[in-house]
Amino acid sequence: MTTTWTTRTRIFLFWFLPLAVALVSWRFIPLGVEASMNFMAHHLEGRALALYAHIGIAPLVLALVPFQVSPRLRAWWPALHRWTGRAYALGVLVSGVAALSLAAHTSAGRVAGLGFGLLGLLWIAITAQAVRLAMLRRIAAHRVWMIRSAALTLAAVTLRLELPILVGVLGFEQGYPIVAWSCWVPNLIVAEWIIRRQQKGALRA
């Protein structure tokens, strides 16, 4: 019973949620930015390229997370894992650089800008480290850093879960700066817990 519950939870967290949020994030394509994400519409003047690079490519990166963290896919289709990994890394680079520009010019204030800016920097740096380790064939270390990268990518999910609650309780001006940090810092903490748990399990084995 516990195993079944754990399996269903993993499917929900690492397959359904990322893919669902990725699809919802592309709502700007049929609806337009102003109608679907009005709080980011101010970037259309002067930073339209960065805006579209981020909101267009980041959902693709999010959708690739399940293909990167699934042990079965790595074992069954290693070539698919490698190619989706390349697409993932390139997407993080493009979307992350775009996010830095958007964070620097956010209308939500310095606290929000700093939170999202640091997220973008760490996202790029951690993913770059994961790629470097893969190129060096240090696969165990590569997987550790990919857990951290995936945790930051999943900030897109936690943001959408937290934002309605925080904005509903505190209002946009107070809630949005909080979610700029709370959408990714807890994710990294959980990632470190998972990494240490796996390392302890490997030592026992």
The b-or-e profile of 158-180 (16+ CB within 10 A means b, else e) is bbbebbeebbeeeeeeebbbbbb
Segments making up each domain of the chain, as ranges: 2-204
Average pLDDT over residues 168-174: 92
Tens digits of per-residue pLDDT, 20-32?
999 999 999 999 9
Predicted confidence (pLDDT) at residue 105 exceeds the cutoff of 70: yes
Predicted confidence (pLDDT) at residue 1 exceeds the cutoff of 60: no
Predicted confidence (pLDDT) at residue 134 exceeds the cutoff of 80: yes
Average pLDDT over residues 79-104: 94
The shares of helix, strand and coil residues in the chain, as percent rounded to the nearest 5, are 90, 0, 10
Report d(CA 90, CA 55) in Å as an integer: 15
- Per-residue confidence (pLDDT) for residue 29, from 0 to 100: 92
Percentage of residues of the chain with pLDDT beyond 90:
69
Q: What pTM was estimated for this model as a whole?
A: 0.90
Tens digits of per-residue pLDDT, 42-71?
899 989 999 999 999 999 999 999 888 877
- Per-residue confidence (pLDDT) for residue 9, from 0 to 100: 65
Average pLDDT over residues 131-150: 95
| Residue the block writes with tokens 């480290």 | 129
Tokens of 26: 């592309």
Query: In terms of C-beta density within 10 A (0-12 exposed, 13-18 middle, 19 or more buried), how is residue 144 classed?
Result: buried
Tens digits of per-residue pLDDT, 152-170?
999 999 999 999 999 999 9
- Per-residue confidence (pLDDT) for residue 200, from 0 to 100: 79
Residue 17 binned pLDDT confidence (cut-offs 50, 70, 90):
confident
Q: Are 127 and 150 in contact (CB under 8 A)?
A: no
Predicted confidence (pLDDT) at residue 112 exceeds the cutoff of 90: yes
